[in-house]
Structure formats: C-alpha cells, structure tokens
Chains A and B, each alone.
Chain A
Amino acid sequence: MSLTSRLASGRDEPESVAGNGLIHRRAFLRGGGAVAAAFTSYGVARMATAAPLAEDPSSLVVGGTPVPYEEHSRFEARVGRALSNPKGETRNFLARTPHQSSEGTITPNGLHFIVSWGGIPDIDPDRHRLVIHGLVKQPLVFTLDALMRYPRVSRMAFLECGGNSAPLFSPQPVQAGVQAIHGLASCAEWSGVLLSTLLDEAGVDPKAKWVIAEGADAAHLSRSVPLSKALDDAMIALYQNGERLMPANGYPMRLLLPGWEGNMNVKYLRRLKLTEQPAMTYWEAKVYAPVLPDSKAYRFYFVQEVKSFITHPSPGLAMSGKGLYEISGIAYSGNGRIERVMVSADGGKSWAQAALSEPVLPKAFTRFRLPWRWDGGPAVLTSQAWDEAGHAQPTRAEFVARRGELTKSLPAAAIPSQHNNSVCSWAVNSDGEVSHVYA
C-alpha cells in the first residue's frame, strides 16, 4: 500500500508516530507530490469537483506598472501588525508581528515588531553621530559615512521583547491568537559593523567591564551591556533584510545583541560609555526586572531563552474539514541553535519530532513542520523545543513552579512580567475552531 493510499484510507498506518494523528516528519518527502496534492489548507473549503476553467478578467487587460518600492497585494491588506497605542497617547506603544500570516523565518521589515518609549524619531542620517567614551584610550565620534566604510558582517538574528508571551502569566488561558501572545518577536538578516572593531579603535581600558548604550530618541533609552557581550557578537546594525533599518527599528543605526533581550538592543544608538559598573537605568533597574514569587526580582535577564510556538493552526485559523494538514511553527533560542522540536496533538500524552527547515542558524528563527491527520475530533496541539546548549523549553507546570503566575488574568495586551518561555497550547474543537488552552 502506498503512503498516499494509506493516508487516504485513514487506517492505522505505520507512518503514524504519535497520538491523535501525528505523522512522521519525513512522510511528505517520502510520499512526494501525491501527498502534497492531497494537502488541505486552513480556512479554505475543499470542493469535491473543480469548476471548469475560464480566463480571469485580470488576464485580459494590460497589468499595472512597477513602482519604486512595492507594497503587498491589495488582497493581503489585512496582513499587518497589531498596534497597542494607535493614537500615540503619552505612553509606550507596541506593534506585534502577525505570525499567523507569515511563513518561513524572515520577518518582512514592515511587519517587524516594535516597542517604542517616546515615539519614532525622524533622524537625518547626516546629522547622527555615535560617540564611544568613558574607559577608553581615546574617545571617538563616528559619522554614518565613516561607519559605512568599515568591514561589515551579516547574520540572521531574532529579536524578542522581554515582555513577549506575557499573556502566559495569566492563571487562565487568555483568549487571544499567536500575534497577541507571541507577536513581540521577529527575525531578520542584520548587516553592520562589529562593535569589537570600533572598541578596538578607541582602545579599551582594562578596567572597563560594562558598556552603557544610549539612544537618540526622546526617551534617551539606555541600557548597560557587559563588555564581554560587546566584544563577542555585538553589532552596530545598519541594514535590516537588505535595506537600511526601518525608522521604528532604529534608523540609522541600532545596537544588535544577538539572542539578548530586545530592549537592550538600543535603537537610534548615539552613545556607548565604557564603565566599571552597570548604570542601573530605569529600564534595567525597574522595568525589565521580573518579580519572583518570593517578591525578589530577577535583574539583568540578558538571554531570551529557548521557546517555540505553533503558528499553523492557531486561533483565528479555522480548520476546513478533516484530513491532512501541516502543523508548523517557530522555535528559537538566545543560547544558540535549535536542536529539536517535539509536537503533541493530544495535550502532551504522546510526542512526535518535527522536521526543522534548513538552515537552522544560531539565535535565529527556525521553522518546524509536522504532518497531521485531523480526524475531526478534539485535539490539543503543543510544541516544546530544545536548544544546542541543552536547555529545554519549560512546560507550563515547570515554569509556574519557578516563576509563579498572576492572581487574576489580565487582558492580552498587558505586560505584567517578562521572560516567559513556557510551552503554549492550542485546542481544536470538533467544529475546527482553535482556542488557547493550558495543557
């Protein structure tokens, strides 16, 4: 019996590797085109017989002309970031990435998440300056023109707000989708100058242990970065996915600290001061210091630890009839590469290993995929990731035991604490609707 007919028969087939319809991650590859053709997509009704084909009106006229900078199709107009503060009231604002309408691992620049403390400055790149001072042999000022002549590096790196996934601190599952829950994480290819090159030019005083970074925005946002990170893989990023940084992502330059808390990746970077001690700025001493159940608080929670979540299906992407689907999602770790992602369709009773789409890069989004035959009954979908440093994404029970949870649930937009990387589960009911659950 071929794989295709086995899948079509719905019998207990050898390719089934875990409960409630999970199929071996390489089944699609072995099955070839026939299995792919049998694929059902989310939210699209499948017809038994296709209608006769005819020329579409759009094919009968001369098409439009290209523009210098193209926007997506007008039929994709609903694809966009979710804005927390669209009127720009006197508080910070956030824009969340729509993972439910994205594929692969690269976040388009217009969809990259934003957390802004004082608005998006309108910086003339010719007037912008970067100064390096403090415990250095020679304080130096760099113009953008000067930095453009330095040797450049390019790398993929995710950025994640420390407050991403904060709805998972609520004691009841907040009814929201993958954008509202996990939308403060994005991934791009960044190009720029390694910070070590510039620090070398200024001459690091052996007493220096920290670099205080500051932006040119209204908040003059400032964070303390250990010198060891600054000399490791820190970059003065000038380009994002092949074009200059977006205004809301730090144009004309930002600090990029691969794998580290988003807020530390200071945008509109204008100043780096080398010191012996951290500055204890508002953002590190007050805001990004998550409170623990014993009332102490973590400070300098640099690393965005291993996380995964399923994007397809997810709340809002209804199933369109039983049959074969692909479960797909995103995994990443600030500690390096993703080593493995396991997926469950029965709330964690049994697990199957997902396929990882190449390339699997350190401190970058990794797309995982797994075939799934939905039998039309209830299912609870969960993913759990491991990174190459050996860290496991914590289960909800493990996470709550260590970090606690709120006493009452908050709206999805609230960020009561930070650094929640516990597993996240979606329930599929027999109508094919998807909701957020704790499993």
Chain B
Amino acid sequence: MSTLRSARLSLALFIATGTAAAVAQGPSLGQAISASDIAAWDLTVMPDGTGLPSGRGTPEQGAAVFAQKCAACHGENGKGGISSALVSDRRRTSIDGAEKTIPNFWPYATTLFDYIRRAMPWQLPRSLSDDEAYALTAFLLAQNKLIGPSEAMDAKSLPKVRMPNEGGFIDRFPELM
C-alpha cells in the first residue's frame, strides 16, 4: 500500500464519514482484472440505463417467451399462479406488501430487466438471452399499460419509461447515504 494511496483513502474516508478512520494494511494480493473480463458477472443495471446490454425485444416476442418459460409459475399472461401476479390493475389499499404490483409500486423499469436477467426463471437463472430479457420486460410493461402494445425495449428506450410510483418513496436514513 503506497503512502499516497493511503492518504487518498484517508481523504475519501474523511469525506464519506466525517472522521479519519484507520485502515489496516493488507498484503496486496488482489489480482488485476480488466473490465471486459468482469463483463460476464457485471449484471448491475442502474435506473439511468447504465449497465444495460445491447439487444432488443418487443411485447409480442415477450408473450411467446412468457408462455414458454414463466407462465407455469406466474400464470397465463402473468395473472398469477403459485408465484405472484405480474400483470395487475390492483390498487394498494393497506400497508400489506402483498398488494405491491409492478404498476402500483416499482419505481424504475430498469429494475425489471435487472431482476429478470439475474434471477429468472427461478429454476434456470441466467438462462435467458439479453433479447429474451428485453422482450419479457417489454411484455410486462405493455400488459400493465406502462408502454404501448408494440413498443420495443432496448438500452435506449427502457430507461425512458416512467413508472407511476417513482415519487412514492421516502429515504429512511438520508443521513447515512
């Protein structure tokens, strides 16, 4: 660990926490890796679209993928099954989190793509192509009337989708952020 790097980190610590904390010195055994060699693991998609891959999908394409890979748990056209409903016009009437739906709660459309790509289908995570993940995202947004019935989703269009509940949140501990 160089003295310069220590000094920089101490400064970062000071800015971040308001205190100068001591950092233990390690043996520096991390191996350098390039961004391209991290790419297969870098699943993070930000609300501004950072991290979205190339590829594209339409609601029509998504309907076919959904019927094949998702409907067994989430029901025909996402109306719900052994897993939660993904298409719903239900309003929230209480504090029960079970009433949360994509249109009445999810603040960002990018989260749909991020979650589908990293975790779905439950039994075969990471088995979807990026085109399929875009198509499923488009299908669910269209079924919930959040985009037009034929609107394609890709790295450009998805971050532009505005979700109705984007402003419905209060950061509980802003002083810790």
Task: Given A220-B43, A297-B105, A404-B95, decide whether A139 and B35 contact each other with a Cβ distance below 8 A.
Answer: yes
A407 on interface, CB distance cutoff 8 Å: yes
Nearest B residue (CB) for A216:
B41
Q: What residues on B are CB-neighbors of A270 within 8 Å?
A: 41
A3 on interface, CB distance cutoff 8 Å: no
A403 and B5 form a contact (CB under 8 A):
no
- Number of residues on chain A facing chain B (CB within 8 A): 86
B137 on interface, CB distance cutoff 8 Å: no
Nearest B residue (CB) for A275:
B46
Q: Which chain B residues numbered 123 to 177 have a C-beta less than 8 Å away from chain A?
A: 123, 125-126, 168-173, 176-177
The tally of CB-CB contacts under 8 A between chains A and B is 233
Q: CA separation between A219 and B119, bound complex, in Å?
A: 4
Q: Which chain B residues numbered 37 to 80 have a C-beta less than 8 Å away from chain A?
A: 38, 41-48, 73
Question: Could you tell me the distance in whole angstroms from the C-beta of B22 to the nearest C-beta in chain A?
Answer: 9
Q: What residues on A are CB-neighbors of B26 within 8 Å?
A: 150-151, 193, 197-198, 200-201
Q: CA separation between A339 and B11, bound complex, in Å?
A: 33
Q: What residues on B are CB-neighbors of A416 within 8 Å?
A: 95-98
The 8 Å CB contact of A149, one of B25, B29, B122, is B29
Q: What residues on A are CB-neighbors of B94 within 8 Å?
A: 291, 404, 406-407
A101 on interface, CB distance cutoff 8 Å: no
Q: What residues on A are CB-neighbors of B28 within 8 Å?
A: 201
The 8 Å CB contact of B108, one of A219, A232, A285, A302, is A285
Nearest A residue (CB) for B84:
A91
A301 on interface, CB distance cutoff 8 Å: yes
B176 and A214 form a contact (CB under 8 A):
no
Question: Could you tell me the distance in whole angstroms from the C-beta of B105 to the nearest C-beta in chain A?
Answer: 6
Q: Of the 9-residue stretches A64-72, A223-231, A347-355, A362-370, which lies at the interface with chain B? A: A223-231
Main secondary structure of the interface of B (DSSP, over half): loop
Q: What residues on B are CB-neighbors of A404 within 8 Å?
A: 94-95
Q: CA separation between A403 and B5, bound complex, in Å?
A: 45
Q: Of the 9-residue stretches A22-30, A239-247, A276-284, which lies at the interface with chain B? A: A276-284
A90 and B73 form a contact (CB under 8 A):
yes
Q: CA separation between A137 and B5, bound complex, in Å?
A: 10
Q: Which chain A residues numbered 241 to 261 have a C-beta less than 8 Å away from chain B?
A: none
Q: CA separation between A271 and B39, bound complex, in Å?
A: 12
B107-125 CB mask vs A (1 if < 8 Å, else 0) is 1101100110011001101
Task: Given A150-B26, A194-B24, A404-B95, decide whether A228 and B17 contact each other with a Cβ distance below 8 A.
Answer: yes
Q: CA separation between A241 and B98, bound complex, in Å?
A: 36
Question: Could you tell me the distance in whole angstroms from the C-beta of B27 to the nearest C-beta in chain A?
Answer: 5
The 8 Å CB contact of B43, one of A193, A203, A222, A303, is A222
Top 4 nearest A-B pairs (CB, nearest first) are: A140-B30, A146-B29, A282-B115, A220-B118
Interface set of B (CB-CB < 8 Å, partner A): 1, 5-6, 8-9, 11-13, 15-17, 21, 23-35, 38, 41-48, 73, 82-83, 92-100, 105-108, 110-111, 114-115, 118-119, 122-123, 125-126, 168-173, 176-177
